[in-house]
Amino acid sequence: MLPSAIEAMTAGFHVVGNAASVHSAGRTARRHVEESRELIAEAFGARPSEVIFTAGGTESDNLAIKGIFWARRDEVPQRTRLLVGATEHHAVLDAAEWLVRYHGATITWVPVTDEGIVTPAALEAAINENPDDVALATVMWANNEVGTINPIRELAAVARSAGIPLHSDAVQAAGPLGCDFAASGLSAMTITAHKFGGPHGVGALFLRRDVACQPILHGGGHERDVRSGTPDNAAILAMAAAVKTVVRDRDETTTTMRRLRQRLITGINELNVDAVINGGRDAQLPNIVNVTFPGCEGDSLLMLMDANQIECSTGSACTAGVARASHVLIAMGISPSIARGTLRFSFGHTSTDHDVDHVLETLPQIVERAKSAGLASAAAGERNV
C-alpha cells in the first residue's frame, strides 16, 4: 500500500459511525464516503453517481456481468447471449459460465490476435451472428497476465452502434493508464484499489446512469439500490487517497516502471537462456513482463524464484492438483505444452533497479535447474509407461 493510503485508512478506523445512519457520527462517515466518491469519479472521468463501491474487482465484475445480463434479459427474454473476450480474468469467465449453467445464457468467445488484442472487427463479427440476442459484451481494458492493452474506445463504439452495453475489467489498467470512463464510451467499468496502492477488499463498479443492472446483494439498498451493504469507510478513504497519489505521480511512476520493464526484457534477451517475451508489441502496460521458458514447468520456475526471494506468478490454473497452461496464452496461439513454462513479472511503485539485477543474476541457473527437472520428470514418465 502507498503510505498515503495507509495513513488515510488508519484515520478512517477512528470514525465509528455507519455511513448509512443519520446521527452525527453516521453523517461524518457519510461525508467521508461521498468526498471519496467525488475524488474517485473525477480521477476516472465519471460522475459521482456512477461510482458504486464494492468489495473489489471480483464483486464488481460479477455485479456487472450478472446484473446487466438479468436486466437486459428481463426487458427482452431472447437476450441471452454474452460476448466474452477469450483472455478475460476468471472473475469474468466464471461469472459468465455460471450464467450459462444456471440462467440459460450462451457465450460467444471473442478471439484475440497473437498479441492478445480483441479487435473491433472481431467484436463486430461476434455481434453480427445475431445482434438481437446479445445481452452484453465484456472485454478487459488490459490483460492481467501479458499486459496487452485493448482498443477500448473503438470496441465501445462498435457495441454502442449495435445498442449493446460493453463492460470492461479495468483492474490492471486503472493505475498506469488512468482509464477515463466517460471518454471510453463504456457502459460499465471495474476497478480495484489494491492494484494501485490501496487496500485489498475494496473497489468500484462505474455504471452509467442509463444502464439497468439488477443487484446480486439485497439488503438496505445502498449504492444506488444496486449494491447493498454498509460502506467500509476506512477502506474507501484509503482507496481515494491512493487514487489521489497515483494521479499526482502517474507520469513519474509510469516512466520508471517502463524503464525497468525494458531493462528486464533487454537483460533476458542478452542472457544465454531460451526465452520468449509474450504480449503486445505496441499497446502494452508498462509494469508487466510475461516470459515463456520452453522446456520448463512454470511451477518449478516459480518455486525456484521464490527460494531466491523473487516473487512472481505463473498465470496458470490448478485443478485437482493438475497444472494447466494459461488460457490467455492458449488463446494467443501458444501451445499448452510450451505455455506451461511461463512466468509473469510485475513492477510497482516500490520496484528498483536492484530488483531487476537480482532477477537477471539468478535467472540462468534457475532456468537450467527447471529444465533439468522437466527432463527428469519426462524420463520417469516414459519408464512408467
65 exposure class (CB count in 10 Å sphere: 0-12, 13-18, 19+)? buried
CB atoms within 10 A of CB 244: 19
Q: Which residues contact 31 (CB under 8 A, 6 or more apart)?
A: none
Question: What is the rounded CA–CA span in Å between residue 164 and residue 187?
Answer: 9
Of the chain, the end-to-end C-alpha distance in Å amounts to: 50
Strand partners, 343: 291
Question: What is the rounded CA–CA span in Å between residue 157 and residue 150?
Answer: 13
C-alpha cell at 28: 461524518
Q: Which residues contact 379 (CB under 8 A, 6 or more apart)?
A: none
Helices (H), 116-232: 120-128, 152-161, 174-177, 181-184
Identify residue 128 by its one-letter amino acid code.
N
Residue labelled with grid coordinates 459521482: 48
Residue 325 φ/ψ region, left for φ over 0, alpha for ψ in the -120 to 50 degree band, beta for the rest: beta
Pick the catalytic residue: 179, 296, 312, 318?
318
C-alpha cell at 70: 438479468
In 3D, which of 235, 248, 249 has the Cα closest to residue 36?
Answer: 235
Identify residue 261 by its one-letter amino acid code.
R
Cβ atoms 34, 271 nearer than 8 A: no
Cβ atoms 220, 228 nearer than 8 A: yes
> Is 179 among the residues known to form the active site?
no
H helices then E strands: how many in the chain?
13, 12
Q: What kind and span of H or E run contains 168? A: strand 166-169
Please list the active-site residues.
318
